[in-house]
């Protein structure tokens, strides 16, 4: 229960779904979690993540921010450091999608997806690395850890969602690039690549045809849950992930293996 004891972790998109599970698990492991999202209420319903964490005895701060704007993304890390004195782990989880194929996607839709899914990740990572490089390395030689939530669709095509799939591919690459350029300085950067995770957000999740298609495609006897991804993120955020950087860990029940 103390794998992140006292560490300050910033999780974007922490109000709902996978980000909510990550924030809850990190707090249960002793982290102080800065929960950043454009809305406080979970998309799937229920109490806010911060209330959930506090009710369980954990520590969390809520920050309402729309990461679609570059100023907001750039300022988020500095605000967290000002509030808590440091940042140990950044989890870039927030993302948006359009669910349209190439010929139906407008430039405005493409640019919005890239603003949230790629530019915000770039700006948050830039600010985090800048801060982490000012810190002394820990016992493992690490100055800070970054976990980017990418997707299996960063590796294989995202059916009928060109903007989302292309943006997730950029996140996969960004993780490798940061690991490449700053590994010698003690920055560890990895990605978690979820397969189909049922978050309760509706949309395609409520369509039996899509659910059947996903289940038939997956060798695992069930589809994914937010906790499945949270445990992978916890591993990569913890001291247990050693000599692992630039990796994108598939959490897809074997989907991409088959
Ligand atoms: N659910 C899946 O099957 C699945 C599969 C692969 C990858 N992923 C990835 O996992 C991550 C989380 O996905 P999810 O399914 O939990 O999504 P979700 O829609 O349930 O939650 C996303 C959260 O991000 C927040 N968010 C969206 N745009 C934002 C913005 N502009 N500023 C601030 N916050 C914003 C939302 O308010 C929401 O709370 C995403 O990066 C997604 O690409 C999910």
Q: Judge if the beta carbon of residue 145 lies within 6 A of ligand 1.
A: no
Token code pair at residue 173: 């690459």
Q: Judge if the beta carbon of residue 66 lies within 6 A of ligand 1.
A: yes
Atom 15 of ligand 1, residue of closest alpha carbon = 17
Token code pair at residue 72: 């907001």
H-run or E-run covering 83: helix 70-84
Label residues 40-51 b or e (16+ Cβ within 10 Å = b): bebbbeeebbbe
CA of 95 to the centre of ligand 1 (A): 4
- The answer to whether the CB of 188 falls within 8 A of the CB of 142 is yes
Q: Judge if the beta carbon of residue 37 lies within 6 A of ligand 1.
A: yes
Model pLDDT, residue 75: 95
Measured between alpha carbons, how far is 23 from 35 in angstroms, rounded to an integer? 7
| CATH code, 8-257 | 3.40.50.720
Q: Which atom of ligand 1 is nearest to the CA of 93?
A: 41
Tens digit of each residue's pLDDT, the chain (258 residues): 799 999 999 999 999 999 999 999 999 999 999 999 999 999 999 999 999 999 999 999 999 999 999 999 889 999 999 999 999 999 999 999 999 999 999 999 999 999 999 999 999 999 999 999 999 999 999 999 999 999 999 999 999 999 999 999 999 999 999 999 999 999 999 999 999 999 999 999 999 999 999 999 999 999 999 999 999 999 999 999 999 999 999 999 999 999
- 164 catalytically annotated: yes
* Nearest 10 degrees: Cα torsion 227, 231, 233, 238: 150
CA of 126 to the centre of ligand 1 (A): 21
Atom 25 of ligand 1, residue of closest alpha carbon = 13
Measured between alpha carbons, how far is 102 from 150 in angstroms, rounded to an integer? 20
Label residues 147-174 b or e (16+ Cβ within 10 Å = b): bbbbbbbbbeebeebbbbbbbbbbbbeb
| Exposed/middle/buried for residue 11 (C-beta within 10 Å: 0-12, 13-18, 19+) | buried
CA of 137 to the centre of ligand 1 (A): 31
Measured between alpha carbons, how far is 23 from 26 in angstroms, rounded to an integer? 5
Model pLDDT, residue 234: 98
Measured between alpha carbons, how far is 133 from 130 in angstroms, rounded to an integer? 6
- pTM over 0.95, yes/no: yes
- The answer to whether the CB of 141 falls within 8 A of the CB of 86 is no
Token code pair at residue 61: 């701060």
C-alpha 121: how far from chain center? 9
Model pLDDT, residue 1: 75
- Maximum Cα–Cα distance across the chain: 52
Measured between alpha carbons, how far is 158 from 194 in angstroms, rounded to an integer? 12
């Amino acid at each position: 229960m103390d794998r992140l004891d006292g560490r300050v972790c910033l999780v974007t998109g922490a109000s709902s779904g996978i980000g909510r599970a990550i924030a809850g698990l990190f707090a249960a492991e002793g982290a102080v979690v800065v929960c950043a999202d454009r809305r406080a209420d979970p998309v799937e319903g229920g109490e806010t993540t911060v209330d959930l964490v506090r009710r369980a005895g954990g520590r969390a701060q809520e920050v309402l921010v729309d990461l679609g704007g570059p100023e907001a993304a750039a300022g988020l890390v500095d605000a967290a450091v000002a509030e808590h004195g440091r940042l140990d782990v950044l989890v870039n989880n927030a993302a948006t999608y359009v669910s349209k194929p190439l010929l139906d996607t407008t430039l405005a839709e493409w640019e919005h997806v890239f603003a949230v899914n790629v530019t915000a990740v770039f700006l948050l990572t830039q600010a985090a690395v800048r801060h982490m490089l000012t810190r002394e390395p820990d016992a493992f030689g690490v100055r800070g850890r970054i976990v980017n939530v990418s997707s299996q669709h960063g590796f294989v095509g995202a059916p009928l969602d060109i903007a989302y799939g292309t943006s997730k591919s950029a996140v996969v690459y960004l993780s490798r690039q940061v690991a490449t350029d700053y590994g010698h300085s003690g920055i560890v950067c990895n990605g978690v690549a979820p397969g189909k995770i049922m978050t309760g957000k509706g949309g395609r999740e409520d369509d039996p045809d899509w659910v059947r298609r996903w289940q038939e495609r997956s060798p695992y006897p069930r589809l994914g849950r937010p906790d499945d991804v949270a445990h992978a993120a916890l591993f990569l955020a913890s001291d247990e992930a050693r000599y692992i950087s630039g990796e994108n860990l598939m959490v897809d029940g074997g989907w991409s293996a088959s």
